Amino acid sequence: METASIQPLIDPREFAGIETVTHLCAGGEAPILRAGLTAIERFAADKSCGMPGRERMFRTYDETKQHLSWLLNRPPGDIALLGSASEGINLVARAIDWKPGDNIVVADAEFPSLIYPWTQGISRGAELRALPTRSGLIELSDLRAAVDKRTRVVAISQVSYLTGQRISLPAVADIAWQVGARLVVDATHALGVVPVDANYCDFLVSSCYKWLLAGHGLGVFVWNRSRVPELKPASLGWHSIIPSSGPATPLLVNLRPDADRLEAGNPAFPSIYLLHASLTRLAEIPERVLLKHVIDLGTVVLDGLRAHGLDVVTPFPAEQRAGNLCFRVPDAEAIAEQFGAHGVVLWGSDGRVRVSVHAYNGSRDVDRLLELLDVCLDRHGRAP
C-alpha cells in the first residue's frame, strides 16, 4: 500500500494547537477542533441571555444525545451524560444487589477504572475474577471458561487502551448473556473512530476527550432499557425526577422513566457544546469511510513497526484492531519524549508506546513516524 495515497479525512488545520506537530495521540489526549472553540463562545453567549439562552442550551443538550443515539444505535432516552466514564461504571456497581458467591469477570489488562469499582461487590461477598491475559490480549475461549452461573457482570473494553485489540461485542455478549450476566462495555477507545453497537451490551460508557474529539468533565453512559428495565440512580436531584407541584408535595419522588434520571443536576453545558461540535463534524464522514481510513493507516504503521523488528502487540487482522497501534519497549516514556522532541506526539506508558491514528491523520504523519523510529529507539534501546 502506498502511504502517499492516504489523505486525512479532516484537514489538520481545522484543529487548534497541532499546526507544528505530527499528532498521533488521539488515544491519550486528542486535539480540539476550532469549531469547538466557536461552540464554547456560543455557550458563553447563550449563558448570558437568561431563559432564551437556557432554552438553547437544553436544545444543544438534546441534539448531542441525538447524535450519540445515531452513533450507538440506541434511542436518546437510553443515554445519560455523566461526569466521566468512571462515574458510569461506579453507578452500575452500586446498583447491583450483590450476594456472597457472586463474581465479576474482568481482564487483568483492563484500565483501572474498569476494575476498581467492582471492589464494591467484593465488600459484599462477591469475587473479582481478574482474567489472566496473554501479552495483554484477551482470548474469548479464556473469557468463556472464566464465567459461570454465578457471574453477575462481565466488564470489557471494546478496544484496549493497552494493546489496541478490538473485541467483537456480539461474541462477548453471547458469552455473558448465556450465563445471565450483565455485560458492561467501556467504548472509550472505540466510540468516534470505529462502529459501536450498544445493543450488544447492558451498560456502556465512554470518555469524550479521546476519539470523540471533545473535552473532559463529560462521560457517555448507555442504559440499555430493552434489557435492563429498571436502574436506580446513584444520586438524586431536580433533574432526576418528573416535576411535581412543588411545595404541595415536597417529598414526592417520581423518577424520570429514561436515562435522564441518572443526571442529578444541570448538565455540563460547556463540555456538551464542545461534544456537539465534534459530533457534528464526525457525522460528515460515513462510518465505513472512517473505519477503512484508520485500518488502512494502521496497516502501514504495523508493517513499518514490524519491519523495524519491534515487539508489536496489536493484532494485525483488521477486525481485531481500531486506531491504537502498540509496541513494547523498555523506557516507553522516554521514547515518547524523544519522539516529542522531534515534533511527533504519541503516548508512552505501561511498557509500551501507543501510536493512534484518527481522521485528521494521513500518510505524511505515518511517514514521519517511521522515519524517526531508528533515531528515537536507538537512543533508548530496543525491546529484547
Q: What is the pLDDT of residues 246-263, one digit of tens each?
A: 677 777 889 999 999 999
Which tens digit of pLDDT belongs to each residue from 41-50?
A: 999 999 999 9
Instruction: Note the pLDDT of residue 201.
Output: 98
Cβ-contact 291, 78 below 8 angstroms: no
Instruction: Note the pLDDT of residue 379.
Output: 55
Q: Which residues of the chain does CATH 3.40.640.10 include?
A: 38-282
Q: What does the pLDDT average to over 344-360? A: 97
**Residue of 348, 332, 328 whose CA lies nearest to 380:** 332
* Residue 3's pLDDT band (cuts 50, 70, 90): very low
**Residue 161: all three cell numbers together:** 487502551
Give the CATH number of domain 3-30+286-380: 3.90.1150.10
* Residue 4's pLDDT band (cuts 50, 70, 90): low
Q: Which residues of the chain does CATH 3.90.1150.10 include?
A: 3-30+286-380
Model confidence pTM above 0.85: yes
Alpha helices in 203-343 (DSSP H): 269-282, 287-307, 332-341
**Residue 57: all three cell numbers together:** 442550551
CA dist 128 and 114 (Å) reads 12
Pick the CATH number of 38-282 from 3.20.20.105, 3.40.640.10, 3.30.565.10, 3.30.70.890: 3.40.640.10
| Distance from chain centroid for Cα 134 | 23
* Percent of the chain clearing pLDDT 90 (strictly above): 92
Any bridge partners for residue 312, and if so which? 327
Residue with cell 490480549: 137
